[in-house]
Amino acid sequence: ISFVGVLIIACPCALGLATPTAIIVGVGKGAREGILVKDAATLEKLYKVSTVVVDKTGTLTKGKPEVVKVNSVDGFKEDEVINILASLEARSEHPIAEAINALAASRQLANKTVDNFEIIKGRGLKGVIAGQEYFAGNLALIAELGLVVDEGKIKQETIEGKTPVILANKIKVIGWVMIADALKVEVAAAVKTLHQMGIKVAILTGDDKNTADFVGKQLGINTVFAQLLPADKLIKIKELQAKGEIVAMAGDGVNDAPALAQADVGIAMATGTDVAIESAGITLLKGDISKLVKAIRLSKLTMRGIKQNLFWAFIYNVVGIPLASGIFFPIFGWLLNPIFAGLAMALSSVSVVGNSLRIKTKNL
């Protein structure tokens, strides 16, 4: 009787169910909340995250910037500057390019033919129009070309959170546009909640430093890294990891893909590029950054469920096996009937599954 009782109660069904049931319920709960988890390991890593690094454009901001000012110099007209910029930006997938093209369309300016188009990583782009080579990009690109621009006037605009796109040829600056992108409504609350959870937040962006600092100040984010190339973002992630930080990276662009892949947990906006989504372990539907907070809460909830499940998987065995083996029989005359051993074994599995299903009822 003791032999049969031990065999039955020691059956490790509950142990085998402890982790997968909690993970499956957690992933399903996430999907209903608009959080798509690619694999279980990502969910397990997320609860340990100590630093969240976010891209600016399209992640913290709406990703639908608008041209708010156009400046032309040296006799060029505003429409000429917009027309050339729109022709160059027509091949770019960046949200800033969409803003410039939208302005050109509103003014009914037809794009010119662009030859030898090339994207200059982290700087801008270039192309040949009617035999003339043009460059469009940030201040770093203009500095590399050795050209002069009114940095004082541009800096005043960037302090207010606007992003400059400067147009130039090989000889001089022709003009520039200032672009503004409003913050997403839910961002401030999400950053505040992350801080309350003891998680540090940093911004990694290729945009102008003044613009990035302005956004950081609005959100209470003190760590801001700006004017970064895609490779620089990757290096910053590695530097944080070298300091012992468990890093989650949230981004949406092609230039975020290397950093998303390097981070302990990559989080992509569903409104972003395919390569960003493919590089990430978690995708947030509708690009809603507040779902990042929910994802972290979900991971903590799931891991707590796994630990509780392991308790229920073991407690029946810890109590039942000595009883079933007859250790207490000589002293108290206690012996576990195989029928009750089977009941205990079944209850351990039911306890594990029932506890996992509780995750569905929790609010994130």
List 39, 55, 115, 181, catalytic entry: 55
Those residues whose C-beta lies under 8 Å from the C-beta of residue 246, and which sit 6 or more positions away, are 45, 48, 49, 50, 51, 264, 265
Query: CA-to-CA distance for 52 and 200, rounded, in angstroms?
Result: 6
Q: Is 77 left (phi over 0), alpha (psi -120 to 50) or beta?
A: beta
* CB-based burial label for 249 (10 Å; 0-12, 13-18, 19+): buried
Angle at 54 between CA 53 and CA 59, to 5 degrees: 165
55 catalytic residue (yes or no): yes
Tokens of 303: 């891991």
Contact 324, 336 (CB under 8 A): yes
Query: CA-to-CA distance for 68 and 72, rounded, in angstroms?
Result: 14
Query: CA-to-CA distance for 300 and 346, rounded, in angstroms?
Result: 27
Tell me the longest C-alpha to C-alpha distance in the chain.
106
CA separation, residue 241 to residues 234, 245, 295 (Å): 11, 5, 21
Query: CA-to-CA distance for 359 and 112, rounded, in angstroms?
Result: 57
Amino acid in the structure at residue 159: I
Contact 89, 65 (CB under 8 A): no
User: Tokens 């956004």 map to which residue?
Assistant: 215
Query: CA-to-CA distance for 256 and 63, rounded, in angstroms?
Result: 14
State the catalytic residues: 55
